Chain A
Amino acid sequence: MLDPYKIREDFPILKRKINNHPLIYFDNAATTQKPKQVIEAIKEFYENYNANVHRAIHTLSQESSELYENAHEEVAKFINADGMEEIIFVRGTTEAINLVAYAWGLHNLKSEDEVLVTLMEHHSNIVPWETLSKINGFQVKYAEVNDDGTLNYESFENAISHKTKIVCLAHVSNVTGVINDVKRVAKIAHEYGALVLVDAAQSVPHLPVDVKDLDIAFLAFSGHKMLGPTGIGALYGKREILEEMKPFHGGGSMIKEVTFNTMTRRCSISLNDLPWKFEAGTPNVCGGVGLMAAVRYLNDLDMENVREHEEILTEYTIRRMQECEKVQIYGPEDASLKCGILPFGVEGLSSHDVALFLDSYGIMIRSGFHCAQPLHEKFRLKSSARASFYIYNTREEIDRLVEALKEIER
């Protein structure tokens, strides 16, 4: 079991006061705070190891390259991938999904094909497919969501067909925290010969995730939502699929050779090995090092403990929020079906009013659509307030949230 009080000592920002109140950070689904181990790793890199990777034979570049490659290896182990060849470092989940859309989808999706997504997706798992469909002419289909926010598996099964070439879904909804049964979806998708892409932005930081067990083609996640720095994330891809894919961006690092043919007066290009084929230009080396430190931190805690801690907090919050007469919780109220994300509304107030009110008590929550407008439309919500938890949050903080909500009701 986690000790959040001990963990809090590692997070300098949590000592801050906001509006004369101790900071309570409940916007973890947007980004998490950083422990001193991650901050120190970044500082240590720039103070002692900074050099461009894979470009030079000098000692500093060798050390920097080794760190960057180790970061890939540790991220691969964290999600049980088969080595660093299956891990491409990107800016975050959004770039990872765009990489799949344009490096795989652009070349493999034809006008008669279909892409199946769900209505609970973050815009980053909708927009790339809708945009690409305008180029390639395929259809994007949407599986329904039940009234309690869970995925309607019947709708999913009705929507999939042999035309479906890829199924793209969130492992965990960034609005409701609902955990989707990816294994079940993958099994059905494979019966139709479709690949599966999982948006794991809200699952990898909060649950044990095993890509082999899930049996999926792609998994995308962001470093900053799991204690790491912003601007770094990862795309997992099954090696044989990545081998077949065309590169996403062109430039340095992603090629082995660029030779000029004097007869044709054109250059011929041979692509680099995985994962570098997909990492054009100077990568975010320091981000990779920071992400590695974050992965180590989470490994030390054990992801089973992270999951358990959030489930306890979520269950406690739901129970305490039920004391508030004007507060309505959206989505399922069974914490075992969810990660630590809780959308809610307060009767007579917009979500932004709620967020501003709580801000005056030093409590940071999110308000708005959370980049998931179709799901809000489905629930007929103009917007929602969202509290989301992580390893450093405590029951006392939730008590203060509930007390503030009771204050707002008066």
Chain B
Amino acid sequence: MSTVEDYVARIEETCGEEKNYVVIFKYDLKNQAIAKILKKAKVEKSISRIIFDLTFENVFFRLYGTGKAIFRNLKDKEELQKVLADLLL
């Protein structure tokens, strides 16, 4: 059974007043991860199919074709893990 860790290489908490999380997907699985996310989340806006503004269960996040995503306004890493599990698994 696959896990969030199968898709995620790193999670960085951003520096600055906004406590956001940057999720970096594993290079060889990034396209798979992006496809899964786009299937489940609602696309609010897309720039050249490279950058997607998305919402999923009231969570706003931005997904990049490079295999990175920035999640905002999450309570903590635990909540992020839950959202990622819902999106990816």
Contact = CB atoms under 8 A, between A and B. Distances in A.
A, B: real partners? yes
B16 A360 contact: no
A367 B17 contact: no
B66 A382 contact: no
B18 interface: yes
Interface in A163-194: none
B15 A368 contact: yes
A359 B66 CA distance: 8
Given A357-B51, A360-B51, A352 B14 contact: yes
A368 B16 contact: yes
B66 A367 contact: no
A204 B62 CA distance: 39
B50 A350 contact: no
A383 B17 contact: yes
A407 B50 CA distance: 12
A353 B53 CA distance: 11
A369 B15 contact: yes
A410 interface: yes
B62 A356 contact: yes
Contact of A352 (B22, B50, B51): B22
B66 A350 contact: no
A21 to B, nearest CB: 10
A80 interface: no
Given A350-B16, A369-B15, A383-B18, A360 B70 contact: no
A356 B68 contact: yes
Contacts of B68: 356, 359
Contact of B18 (A352, A407, A410): A352
Given A356-B22, A360-B51, A367 B62 contact: no
A350 B61 CA distance: 12
- Give me the 6 closest cross-chain CB pairs, A-B, nearest first: A383-B16, A368-B15, A382-B17, A368-B16, A360-B66, A19-B66
Interface of A: 19, 350-353, 356-357, 359-360, 367-370, 376, 382-383, 407, 410
Interface of B: 14-18, 20, 22, 47, 50-51, 62, 64-66, 68, 70
29 contacts: A350-B14, A350-B16, A350-B18, A352-B14, A352-B16, A352-B18, A352-B20, A352-B22, A352-B70, A356-B22, A356-B62, A356-B66, A356-B68, A357-B64, A359-B66, A359-B68, A360-B50, A360-B51, A360-B65, A367-B14, A367-B16, A369-B16, A376-B16, A376-B17, A382-B16, A383-B15, A383-B16, A383-B17, A410-B47
